Chains A and B, each alone.
Chain A
Amino acid sequence: MNLSNWQTQLRKGLLDIVILNLLRHGKCHGYEMVQNLKQSEGLKIREGNIYPILARLETDCLVTSYSEASQDGPPRRYFRITSLGQKVLTDMNAHWDQMIESIQYIRKGTHR
């Protein structure tokens, strides 16, 4: 098994929940999100990956975007989580917690 491939696929699969959690704390543009993720161990993504995910989340009405003038360049597109996105994220986080707990049980050999 190629560990690097597994890690890449895992990161890709988790991008939706990661991005929504980043936006839970306020508006953010794509570049800024990438910089945040670069500082998080294990979550460093391929920088371009964030844009198709954001486009998909926006199509699903989980995030919304708007342009805002920038002091050092062209206008930036900011993203913000919607109320639907908040609800979906709550469910996703709950599911994530459940998964982590179950994996921990399995690792410890205490699962039924």
Chain B
Amino acid sequence: MTRPLRQTVGAHYGWKDWLVQRVTAVIMVLYTLWMLAVTLYNGGIDYALWQALFANGAFRIATLLFGLALLWHAWIGMRDIWMDYIKPTAVRLTLEVMTFVVLVAYAAWLAQILWAAGQV
């Protein structure tokens, strides 16, 4: 009986996370530059402009996209830091789970804020 050679190349999430970290970074750079341009063009942001921005559905979607990119980016970054510095598995797993739960809660919070802004 011949067995297939065991693949010793790991779980494959390394290259995916590497790529995700860069794609999310580019999304955040674009959103940051866009917001900077809006702010400079209008000479600051007052309440009327702030509300007008969030009344726009496309802007809310862009903000949600930015937020999700940020939270995904933060997940990979924080998990890498826990993996690098925290040796005991139980402690590391606890910190990773806490980080993940907090980030998902932030995503829900952002969705709530954007949803409420769309109801006005």
The reply to whether chain A is a binding partner of chain B is: no
Seen from chain B, the residues whose Cβ lies within 8 Å of a Cβ on chain A are none
